[in-house]
Chain A
Amino acid sequence: MESGRGSVGEAKRVPWWVSYAVIACLLPGLYMLVRPEMAEQFGIYTAVISPVSLNLILLYGIWGYESHKRTRGKHRATRWLVFLGGCAVLTLIFRLGFGIETIFG
């Protein structure tokens, strides 16, 4: 459907090409960002450990969003909680099992 022209009383829609334009504007900058990462030839890196991992935050965030979105469906929120809780437990077991630590020289 053509968009961009709204009739009286209707909100104007974003033109179809806008999303492509945004991506096209971002591409060169993102390209230059990843290219050195790809072209790097020496793979020594330092690592930072924190008690809270991105993984757990992502899982909690997903749970929170889904729970809020589906408040009218309690069983759906509970199902997400059980699933994410299981993922978090598995992640914790994985972390505890390997006991990852950093050693800074």
Chain B
Amino acid sequence: MKPVSAKSGIPLAVLLVSGLYYYLLSAKVWTWIFASYDSGDWLAVSNMWMVPQPYGSPLYISLARAVNFLPGDLVSNMTVILSVIPMAITVCLIYLIVKEMTGSLKIALVCSAVMLGAAVPLSQATVVEEYALAVMFVAFAFYFYIRGNRWATALSLGLGTAVHIMVLVISLIWFVLNARDIKPWLKVTPVYIVSGILPYGLILWLMASDAPPLLAGGELSWAMINSYLGSTGVAFSLSIVEAPERLLYVGAFLVVSLGLAVVPCWWGLKRPWRVSTTMLIGAAGFSIWYYATCLDPTTWTFLIWAIPMMVILAGMGLGRMQLKHSRIVLAGAICLIAANGFFLNADRLTRENPQATDYYDALMGLPDGSAVVTHHGGWGGLGFDYVYSEGKDLIPIFFHYEGRTEPEPIYSNYLAWLKGKHSLEGGSTRELASDALDSGIPVYIEVFQLPGWDKVFLAEDVGVHRFKRVVSVDMDAPLVTGNIVEVKRWNLVEAVWEKLKGFLGG
């Protein structure tokens, strides 16, 4: 019998240490920290089937539903099972990948330490979010790729795609980069399609079902799909005037995540490049490019796909450098691990500023049968969805930015559902609120969401924490348009024609 060496236990040790570190730093209660406002949505779909935010994340919401059946606190279970453990596995995979590519156990350990101390992955490993699970599958895919297992590579990419649509782009990039060897990859494409694309049929099914259309749904049609997909579309549109600040943040997030490993990462980029190197560069490059040019500043979380790739590149760089470089990079990683333990401690930061749980308690404290005016999405709306899914008897009156010339299927179906389920009628936020007041239903609005609507709603403080009660609705007040980006629906022909007419002075 072959003796088991101590080295064979190293991956397990890396996994356990990483898991323990992430768990200790993870938020133990619901939080919005680290741009995790979407957690309200994930917790809501864990409680009940509904169409989540685009593009649906079918595998993630299915796993969330499964986690809901486990004993214990839902938030803790989802954080540990769908964030902490996947990211710990990712750290372990980084170790295995770098060891495979460099042949050095020491460099692999250094890279796993760098990954553990990386700020962006740490942030998403310690809250309820989908990114840790998605990046785990991407890491699996790369690991299987360098091991020559195409079936497992395709399956991993497929499962990652079913968690987050970004992996579809990474998969396409990797597919193109392997175009010279396309035939064997075409053979495993069905594996990817079955595991990564077909699951999105769940979202179509949810649209067609009678699930509450709090975000979307109520019908399955091209108009609904178009409206659903078009409700997110701020990529590649950052204006030039905002560029300097954004580029600064891009650099800052990368340096803070990689630490001193930035130096060997540069060495890892030196040519000649293997196909695997171009894959790392392609995935990291797209991720960085997305955040750098996206209108939404909270998409720094998308750098989570770049960081593991750059850590692997750093490992390749260390493989070309003397041992002293590995020692100093390790020292830097240990410093970051220690610093993050305090400054990026989600558990501590959440306890110091428990906004999410405060909002949850405030909603739960409202009288049953009340109507709540809130954002459609965002921390306010998704948080409401979570409370609603917990069984609290509240009626949602979602903000609808006025002045739109076209009815949107998402909003139309929501209005129809509201009428059928809660007997509220109206074509706009103010009409719905007015109808609720006329029906004797108390209407509340959260104080942080009141600005912008304070000319429409006259609200008074009635001693309810965080909420004011709406006394009257001014139907003649100026239209409310808000100060966030409004994304029009996809209509290319009309958009091009309008642009041309504008240029021609029409």
- Are the C-beta atoms of B492 and A97 separated by less than 8 Å? yes
- Nearest CB in chain A: distance from B308 CB, A: 18
- Are the C-beta atoms of A34 and B241 separated by less than 8 Å? no
In the bound complex, CA of A24 to CA of B256 (Å): 10
Fill in one digit per residue for B208-239: 1 if any A CB lies within 8 Å of its CB, else 0.
00000000000000000000001001111111
Q: Lowest 6 CB-CB distances: which A-B pairs, in order?
A: A50-B239, A99-B488, A30-B252, A105-B483, A54-B243, A103-B481
Whether A50 contacts B236 in the complex (CB less than 8 A), given A17-B328, A24-B332, A31-B339, comes out as no
In the bound complex, CA of A33 to CA of B464 (Å): 36
- Are the C-beta atoms of B492 and A93 separated by less than 8 Å? yes
- Are the C-beta atoms of A41 and B344 separated by less than 8 Å? no
B329 (CB) vs chain A CBs: closest residue: A20
In the bound complex, CA of A105 to CA of B456 (Å): 13
- Are the C-beta atoms of B293 and A43 separated by less than 8 Å? no
CB of A98 within 8 A of chain B?
yes
CB of B444 within 8 A of chain A?
no
In the bound complex, CA of A48 to CA of B242 (Å): 8
Q: How large is the interface on A (under 10, 10 to 19, 20 to 34, 35 or more residues)?
A: 35 or more
Q: How large is the interface on B (under 10, 10 to 19, 20 to 34, 35 or more residues)?
A: 35 or more
B residues neighboring A (CB under 8 Å): 31-35, 37, 119, 123, 230, 233-243, 246-249, 251-253, 255-256, 259-260, 262-263, 289, 292-293, 295-298, 300, 324-325, 328, 332, 339, 343-344, 349, 353, 355-356, 378-379, 401, 403, 448, 452, 480-492, 495-496, 498-499
Q: What would 26 A/B residue contacts be, using CB atoms closer than 8 Å? A: A20-B263, A20-B332, A23-B263, A27-B255, A33-B252, A38-B35, A38-B344, A39-B33, A45-B484, A47-B239, A47-B295, A49-B237, A52-B239, A53-B236, A54-B239, A55-B237, A55-B293, A57-B240, A94-B235, A96-B496, A98-B233, A98-B490, A100-B237, A101-B486, A103-B481, A103-B486
- Nearest CB in chain A: distance from B411 CB, A: 16
A-chain residues with CB within 8 Å of residue B256 when the two chains form the complex: 27, 30-31, 34
CB of A10 within 8 A of chain B?
no
B-chain residues with CB within 8 Å of residue A65 when the two chains form the complex: none
In the bound complex, CA of A24 to CA of B329 (Å): 11
- Are the C-beta atoms of A43 and B379 separated by less than 8 Å? yes
- Nearest CB in chain B: distance from A39 CB, A: 6
Fill in one digit per residue for A77-98: 1 if any B CB lies within 8 Å of its CB, else 0.
0000000000000010111111
B-chain residues with CB within 8 Å of residue A104 when the two chains form the complex: 481, 483
B-chain residues with CB within 8 Å of residue A41 when the two chains form the complex: 31-33, 37, 353, 355-356, 379
A19 (CB) vs chain B CBs: closest residue: B263
B-chain residues with CB within 8 Å of residue A37 when the two chains form the complex: 249, 297, 300
A-chain residues with CB within 8 Å of residue B259 when the two chains form the complex: 23, 27
CB of A26 within 8 A of chain B?
yes
CB < 8 Å: which of A24, A46, A97, A102 contacts B495?
A: A97
In the bound complex, CA of A99 to CA of B491 (Å): 8
A residues neighboring B (CB under 8 Å): 16-17, 19-20, 23-24, 26-27, 30-31, 33-35, 37-50, 52-55, 57-58, 91, 93-105
- Nearest CB in chain B: distance from A47 CB, A: 4
In the bound complex, CA of A33 to CA of B174 (Å): 33
A17-B328, A53-B238, A53-B239 given; 17 more Cβ-contact pairs under 8 Å: A23-B263, A26-B255, A27-B255, A30-B255, A31-B256, A31-B339, A35-B343, A40-B35, A43-B298, A48-B242, A49-B485, A54-B243, A57-B240, A91-B236, A96-B499, A100-B237, A103-B486
- Are the C-beta atoms of A94 and B328 separated by less than 8 Å? no
- Are the C-beta atoms of B255 and A57 separated by less than 8 Å? no
Whether A98 contacts B488 in the complex (CB less than 8 A), given A39-B349, A41-B353, comes out as yes
In the bound complex, CA of A97 to CA of B293 (Å): 17
- Are the C-beta atoms of B495 and A96 separated by less than 8 Å? yes
- Are the C-beta atoms of A48 and B298 separated by less than 8 Å? no
- Are the C-beta atoms of A105 and B482 separated by less than 8 Å? yes
A31 (CB) vs chain B CBs: closest residue: B256
- Nearest CB in chain A: distance from B453 CB, A: 10
- Nearest CB in chain B: distance from A20 CB, A: 5
- Nearest CB in chain B: distance from A22 CB, A: 9
A-chain residues with CB within 8 Å of residue B300 when the two chains form the complex: 34, 37-38
- Nearest CB in chain B: distance from A10 CB, A: 21
In the bound complex, CA of A34 to CA of B236 (Å): 21
B481 (CB) vs chain A CBs: closest residue: A103
- Nearest CB in chain A: distance from B450 CB, A: 13
- Are the C-beta atoms of B298 and A24 separated by less than 8 Å? no
In the bound complex, CA of A103 to CA of B409 (Å): 21
In the bound complex, CA of A27 to CA of B260 (Å): 9
In the bound complex, CA of A19 to CA of B324 (Å): 14
B-chain residues with CB within 8 Å of residue A31 when the two chains form the complex: 119, 256, 339, 343
- Are the C-beta atoms of A47 and B241 separated by less than 8 Å? no
B-chain residues with CB within 8 Å of residue A58 when the two chains form the complex: 289, 292-293
- Are the C-beta atoms of A43 and B236 separated by less than 8 Å? no
